[in-house]
Amino acid sequence: MTAYTATVTVRLKRGVLDPEAETTQQALERLGFDLSDLRSADRFEVDLDAADADEAADRADEMAERLLANPTIHDYDVAVAER
Amino acid sequence: MTVSVIQFGGSNCDRDAVRALDHLGVDAERVWHADGLPADTEGIVLPGGFSYGDYLRAGAMAARDPILNEVRAAADEGVPVIGVCNGAQIGSESGLTPGAFTTNASARFQCEPVRLRVERADTPWTAAYDAGDVIEVPIAHGEGRFEIDDDAHADLVADDRVLFRYCDADGNVTDAANPNGSTDNIAGVLGERETVAVLMPHPERATLPDLGRSTDGAGILEAFA
C-alpha cells in the first residue's frame, strides 16, 4: 500500500448561477481590482492508502459521486499524488 | 394515521410541523433520526431547519443518514412523504425528488411571504385546492433556488411533476414573483410517485389560525388527515 493524497475539486457547472462568486467579484471590484470574471470551487484533500494511484483515484471519484459533488449542479475532478 | 416528523441534529421546524398536524387532527410525533423509523409510520415529514449546519451543502449530510434508506423504502411502498425547506433540500439530495436547491440568486437569506400557484390539484398534497389557485405561504431560506438541467426540466414538465410555482397575486408566473431565481419559478415538485413531494415554502407556518397572516398551507398538510 502507498500513501496518497487525492485532491477533489468540486465546482459549479458552467452556466449555473454562482451568487457567492458574483458577490465576491463585486467586492474585489469595490477594492479597485480589475477582473473580468471569478469562479469559486471547493477543494477536498483526502489522505488515503491504496495499492496504486488508479485505485486511489477510483475511490476519490466514488466519494465525489456519492457525497462531495451534487451531479445536478457540479462538475468535479480528481488529482492523486503520493504523500 | 401516525406521521413521523424526522428530527435531525439542527432541524428546527419539527415542533412546528407536529403542532400544525395536531391542529388538523393528525396524529404526529417527532422521531429522532438515530432511532429509526417507527413501525407504525403511515406518513413522513422531513422538516425544515439547518441539519448538520448545512455543512457541504444544505441537506447533504442528512440525505446520507441511514434513516433516509428507511424513508426511501417507505416512499416506494406508497407512504406519503413531504420535505419542507431543509427537508426539501434533503429530499433532493437523497434522490427522492429531482433537481437541486442551491444558493438564492440574491445570495441572501430570505424570510418573507410568497405566493404560490397550485399547478395540480389531483395529488394528495393539493386535493384541498383547485388547479390555478394562488396561496400564500412563507419562505425562510438561503438556499432555495431550484436548479435542474434542461433535459430533466423538460421531463419534469412533460410528466406534470411541478406542484407549485412562485407567482404574483393574480397567479402570473413572473420573474418579479420569483424570490430566489428558481428555474421556471419552481417552488415544489413531486417525486416519482405523487405521494412524494418537496417544497421550499413552509406550509406548517401557514396553518395555525393565530400564528400569522395565512392559513393557506393547511391544505398541503391535510394530505395526512
The C-alpha atoms of residue A21 and residue A38 are separated, in whole angstroms, by: 6
ipTM: 0.91
User: pLDDT averaged over chain A?
Assistant: 97
pLDDT at position B212, please?
Answer: 75
**Cell digits of residue B35:** 432511532
Q: List alpha helices for chain B, DSSP H.
A: 14-23, 60-63, 67-76, 86-93, 150-158, 218-221
Candidates B55, B92, B102, partner chain A, best to mutate (most A CBs within 10 A): B102
Task: Please state, for a pLDDT cut of 90, what percent of chain B lies above it.
Answer: 98
Closest residue of chain B to A12, computed from CA coordinates: B102
pLDDT at position B213, please?
Answer: 84
Res. B141: pLDDT tops 90: yes
Query: Cβ B93–A70 below 8 Å, yes or no?
Result: yes
User: pLDDT averaged over chain B?
Assistant: 97
Closest CA–CA distance from residue A23 to any residue of chain B (Å): 8
Q: What are chain A's domains?
A: 2-82 (3.30.1280.10)
pLDDT at position B210, please?
Answer: 87
Q: Which residues of B are catalytic?
A: 85, 202, 204
Q: What are chain B's domains?
A: 2-224 (3.40.50.880)
Cβ contacts of A20 on chain B, cutoff 8 Å: 103, 107
Give which of B24, B72, B13, B19 is closest to B224, Cα–Cα: B24
DSSP strand pairing (B162-167 vs B110-118)? antiparallel
pLDDT band, very low/low/confident/very high, at B174 (cuts 50, 70, 90): very high
Cβ contacts of A8 on chain B, cutoff 8 Å: none
Spell out a b/e string for B89-128, using b for 16 or more CB atoms within 10 Å of the CB, else e.
bbbbbbebbbbbbbbbbebeebeebbbbbbbbeebbbbeb
| CB proximity A17 to B under 8 Å | yes
Cβ contacts of B145 on chain A, cutoff 8 Å: 17
The C-alpha atoms of residue B88 and residue A17 are separated, in whole angstroms, by: 20
Q: Which residues contact B196 (CB under 8 A, 6 or more apart)?
A: B75, B80, B81, B82, B91, B96, B97, B190
Closest CA–CA distance from residue B213 to any residue of chain A (Å): 31
